[in-house]
Amino acid sequence: MRYISIEAVEPGQYLGKTIFSSNGAVLLAEKVQLTVYMITTLKRIGVTMLYIKDKDTDDVEIQDVVSDETKVAVMHKLTEIYQSINSGKDFFTRNISVNVNTLLDEISRNKDVLVQLTDIRTKDNEQYIHAINVCIMSVLIGINMSLNQLQLKELAVGALLHDIGKLELLTDDESNDVKRHHTWRGFELLKSKREFSLLIAHIAFQHHEHMDGSGMPRQLPAEQIHQYARIVAVANTYDNLLSPLHQSSTMHPYEACEHLMALAGATLDRDIVIHFLRTVSIYPTGISVRLTNHMTGVVVGQHRGLPGRPIIRVIKREDDNELEITEIDLAKQPTVFVEAVLS
């Protein structure tokens, strides 16, 4: 499979990865042949990147930390919670707790798989995919930091619900009131849930605080920001940089990682950023790149601990129409680097 810009997709190509709606329903299934109408519709609903089937990379498998089935189940439960809040009703936490246990089991089993965050986002499902992405990255950071199982579960629940305060609508008079910032509202919603640790509510409360005291909503100094909130802040910042629905211009993963490093120490916790950089794929599998040796190819493999040194498949078509396929393992080629990501 290849991971390409929606602008490069052509009618007749086959979808490589299923696209889901906010409640987990299938919008467009893997292997469907794309038409002009489908491509136009995908652009309209906010899709910017797609996995496409490609005969030269058919053997390439995308390793996910969490299965689609589990993500769909979590999205469904998040939808129920969000709908309850938006309609002014109470929400139940027992089911989300069960889903978090499944998430934790899968993340623990696949903790050596680099996070790629390549689920297809739309305007409809973006907030749910964002919540799940932040949860997965936060738990992986927590594992790297040797948090115990209880701590990981608190962190996972808080990460999933970190933006829950955004669901309450503001009046014009309230929109400039710091105590109506979504972090305050999230804290108020979660602290009322007696089955949740108060630390879970503090993740919603503190994930926009900065290490230099310039954050929101209370400008807390670094020593007063809980470790869970510092972790979620890193994961949340990274995912927001990748999301086309949050930014006027999006970043590739390698650009977002460079941005995080620039924020380390001032906005974000430097040690947590370092832990994070060990968990994420800088060049996702399936993306096309140009190397410093002037070759272009597709990323087909990753190395845990060396996220910037993937395996690149270079495909050349000879004059007799025969294909010459070469794989360059950047972990074994210290003088060759990725020069650019090709959209």
Q: Please, which residues have CB within 8 angstroms of residue 155's CB and are 6 or more apart in sequence?
A: 138, 139, 142, 147, 203, 228, 231, 232
Q: Which residue has the higher pLDDT, 150 or 318?
A: 150
> Positive or negative CA dihedral for 54, 60, 62, 68?
positive
CA 341 to chain centre: 19
Q: What is the full DSSP assignment across 74-87?
A: HHHHHHHHHHHHHT
Higher pLDDT, 294 or 92: 294
Confidence of residue 171 (pLDDT cuts 50, 70, 90): very low
pLDDT in tens, 12-71: 999 999 998 877 789 999 999 999 999 999 999 888 889 999 888 888 888 899 999 999
> What is the C-alpha to C-alpha distance for residues 276 and 273, in angstroms, rounded to an integer?
5
Q: Which domains does the chain have, with CATH numbers?
A: 2-57 (3.90.105.10), 68-277 (1.10.3210.10), 288-342 (no CATH)
Confidence grade of residue 88 (pLDDT, cut at 50, 70, 90)? confident
Residues sharing a CB contact under 8 Å with residue 320, sequence separation 6 or more, in sequence order? none
Of 76 and 177, more confident: 76
Q: Can you tell me the distance from the alpha carbon of 145 to that of 76, in angstroms, rounded to the nearest whole number?
A: 30
